[in-house]
Amino acid sequence: MTRAQRSLHRVLWPALALAVGLGFAMALYLRPPPENPAPPVAEEPRQ
């Protein structure tokens, strides 16, 4: 790699990693809560 490409690389990586890391963290934090399983239907007492 040329010197310019290495310099670009050194700037690009931390910036990209930070942006994607932040996006990922937000996506994880804002994940909707799991749907609660429906309560079991109580069987009607047999007559």
Nearer to other proteins, 35 or 44 (CB): 35
Nearer to other proteins, 28 or 42 (CB): 28
Which residues, at least 6 apart from 29, have a Cβ–Cβ distance to it below 8 Å?
none
Nearer to other proteins, 31 or 46 (CB): 31
User: Coil, strand, or helix at residue 7?
Assistant: helix
| Contacting positions for other proteins (CB under 8 A) | 1-3, 5-10, 12-14, 16-17, 19-21, 23-24, 26-28, 30-32, 34
Q: Both tokens of residue 31?
A: 């994940």
